[in-house]
């Protein structure tokens, strides 16, 4: 593998900038800049030179092949965090034969050298993108290889079942065994339960990872925008405020006590005689219905039956005006009354929905699991001679789950979403 480098820390000024160099001769090249580095994983405080010229004084550490993030020989330069220092050092490394890494290339090498499985790579990607506490918690479990460990246990069950089937074939007088030991069926039933549990926990885990969408709907002037603005301003952990996918929808992302939540302001939800506007309204309605929950706002606590779904909340607005006597949730976006209660109500409901979250949170992982589960369906009815094949298919699906096979088509998609230097 050729020698690659990248800034591991964000570009710009900082106390320290770390450049990582990975590949064959990573140590030798580093020694050209920093002098001898005899012991691996040892911090050396050295002058970093381009020929005779001292570029910086920095901490240099090298890692042996097999003991680094990428699995290759790696050197880290902990430079002073000035862009010009980083630039000079990377120019020198380029002259020494190294090249700038592509996005995700370090992680790709870690995967290719077997340091990480595909589910860990996905977990690491999620960790780098995590904005809230629950996203971080899920991602770190995935990045630590929790799914791979489960898959290993499941493979162990398959190997046991497979061995029992093989043995019954070997011992049978004819080629095809009449009877398969009962144990095979109980092992496969156990595995089915594991897979069902994990598949069942997918929707919740995916919600944790991607966050929830809450559509704020109601008639014009119900106070939708005011409520969203109030929530966004009050919430100290506001993440961002980005324009929606359609002209009619504003998205406000925030951290609701650790849960990632996007509030959708569906400003356009009114009937219109204008055909184009009506199309926009229909689109907004579809979006509102696709959301995880809807807040139905009105001054009178009325709801739109067409858009009401189980788990929705009705919210009376403008409680400071006391226009109507209403029961249930009521808020004032002017005084802030009722907002905290509403948010904690929403949080409680969403928390219930993520209670059974598993570790599988990506479609790719789910489809491998579903495939594995399918291969194990009706094993009681499968003739013994086909049982071994079903077991092999299940094992292949589990291999796909961790990227042992069939990873290529996903790699580019996954790694291009990584930043350079990861």
Length in residues, the chain: 422
Specify the stretch interacting with ligand GDP by CB under 6 A; choose among 14-22, 170-178, 272-280, 330-338: 330-338
Query: Which residues between 331 and 350 bind ligand GDP (CB under 6 A)?
Result: 332-334
Point out the annotated binding site for K(+): 221, 240, 242, 245
| Stretch (H or E) spanning 278 | helix 275-290
Helix (H, G, I), strand (E, B) or coil at 381: coil
To the nearest 10°, the Cα dihedral for 80, 83, 85, 90? 120
**Residue nearer to ligand GDP on the CB measure, 21 or 288:** 288
Q: Where do the H-state alpha helices sit in 321-422?
A: 339-353, 363-375, 384-401, 408-416
Specify the stretch interacting with ligand GDP by CB under 6 A; choose among 300-308, 326-334, 338-346, 352-360: 326-334
In the beta sheet, which residues pair with residue 412? none
Applying CB under 6 A, among 78, 209, 318, 373 the residue interacting with ligand GDP is 318
* Cβ atoms 127, 143 nearer than 8 A: yes
| Smallest gap from residue 320 Cβ to ligand GDP (A) | 5
**Residue nearer to ligand GDP on the CB measure, 224 or 253:** 224
User: Which residues, 6+ apart, have CB-to-CB distance to 98 below 8 Å?
Assistant: 2, 3, 4, 5, 21, 23, 29
Distance CA 148, CA 143 (A): 10
**Residue nearer to ligand GDP on the CB measure, 323 or 352:** 323
| Smallest gap from residue 323 Cβ to ligand GDP (A) | 9
* Cβ atoms 126, 361 nearer than 8 A: yes
Applying CB under 6 A, among 16, 153, 159, 321 the residue interacting with ligand GDP is 321
**Residue nearer to ligand GDP on the CB measure, 100 or 221:** 221
* Cβ atoms 117, 145 nearer than 8 A: yes
Specify the stretch interacting with ligand GDP by CB under 6 A; choose among 16-24, 122-130, 166-174, 318-326: 318-326
| Smallest gap from residue 236 Cβ to ligand GDP (A) | 21
Applying CB under 6 A, among 50, 277, 320, 371 the residue interacting with ligand GDP is 320
Distance CA 128, CA 103 (A): 13
Instruction: Return the residue matching tokens 């905290």.
Output: 340
Query: Which residues between 200 and 239 bind ligand GDP (CB under 6 A)?
Result: 218, 220-226
| Smallest gap from residue 7 Cβ to ligand GDP (A) | 44
| Smallest gap from residue 109 Cβ to ligand GDP (A) | 50
Point out the annotated binding site for Mg(2+): 225, 246
**Residue nearer to ligand GDP on the CB measure, 267 or 342:** 267
Q: Of the candidates 56, 3, 55, which has an alpha carbon nearest to the alpha carbon of residue 29?
A: 3
Point out the annotated binding site for (6S)-5-formyl-5,6,7,8-tetrahydrofolate: 20, 76, 115, 422
| Smallest gap from residue 251 Cβ to ligand GDP (A) | 15
Query: Which residues between 250 and 289 bind ligand GDP (CB under 6 A)?
Result: 267
* Cβ atoms 263, 250 nearer than 8 A: no
β-sheet with 249-256: strand ranges across: 238-243, 249-256, 259-266, 212-217, 293-298, 313-316, 329-330
| Smallest gap from residue 292 Cβ to ligand GDP (A) | 21
Q: Which residues bind ligand GDP (CB under 6 A)?
A: 218, 220-226, 267, 317-318, 320-321, 332-334
């Amino acid at each position: 593998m050729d020698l690659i480098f990248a800034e591991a820390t964000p570009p710009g000024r900082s106390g320290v900038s770390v450049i990582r160099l990975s590949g064959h001769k990573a140590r030798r090249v580093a020694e050209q800049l920093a002098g001898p580095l005899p012991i691996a994983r040892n911090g050396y405080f050295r002058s970093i030179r381009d020929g005779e010229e001292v570029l910086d004084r920095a901490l240099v550490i090298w890692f042996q092949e097999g003991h680094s993030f990428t699995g290759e020989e790696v050197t880290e330069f902990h430079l002073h965090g000035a862009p010009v220092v980083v630039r000079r050092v990377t120019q020198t490394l380029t002259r020494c034969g190294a090249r700038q890494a592509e996005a995700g290339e370090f992680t790709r090498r870690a995967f290719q050298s077997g340091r990480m499985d595909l589910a860990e790579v996905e977990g690491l990607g999620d960790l780098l993108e995590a904005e809230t506490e629950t996203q971080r918690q899920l991602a770190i479990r995935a990045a630590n290889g929790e799914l791979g460990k489960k898959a290993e246990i499941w493979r162990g069950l398959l190997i046991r079942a497979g061995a029992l089937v093989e043995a019954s074939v070997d011992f049978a007088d004819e080629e095809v065994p009449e009877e398969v030991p009962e144990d095979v069926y109980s092992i496969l039933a156990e595995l089915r339960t594991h897979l069902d549990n994990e598949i069942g926990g997918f929707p919740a885990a995916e919600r944790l990872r991607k966050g929830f969408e809450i559509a704020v709907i109601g008639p014009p002037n119900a106070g939708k925008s005011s409520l969203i603005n109030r929530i966004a301003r009050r919430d100290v952990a506001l993440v961002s405020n980005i324009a929606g996918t359609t002209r009619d929808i504003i998205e406000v992302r925030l951290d609701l006590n650790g849960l990632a939540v996007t509030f959708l302001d569906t400003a356009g939800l009114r009937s219109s005689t204008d055909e184009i506007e009506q199309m926009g309204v229909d689109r907004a309605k579809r979006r509102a219905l696709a959301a995880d929950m809807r807040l139905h706002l009105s001054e009178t606590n009325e709801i739109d039956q067409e858009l009401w779904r189980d788990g929705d909340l009705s919210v009376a607005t403008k409680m400071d005006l006391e226009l109507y006597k209403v029961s249930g949730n009521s808020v004032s976006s002017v005084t802030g009354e009722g907002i905290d209660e509403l948010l904690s109500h929403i949080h409680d409901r969403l928390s219930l929905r993520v209670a059974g979250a598993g570790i599988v949170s990506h479609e790719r992982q789910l489809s491998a699991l579903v495939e594995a589960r399918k291969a194990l369906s009706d094993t009681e009815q499968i003739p013994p001679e086909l049982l071994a094949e079903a077991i092999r298919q299940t094992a292949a699906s589990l291999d796909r789950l961790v990227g042992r096979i069939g990873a290529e088509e996903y790699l580019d998609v996954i790694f291009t979403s990584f930043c350079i230097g990861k």
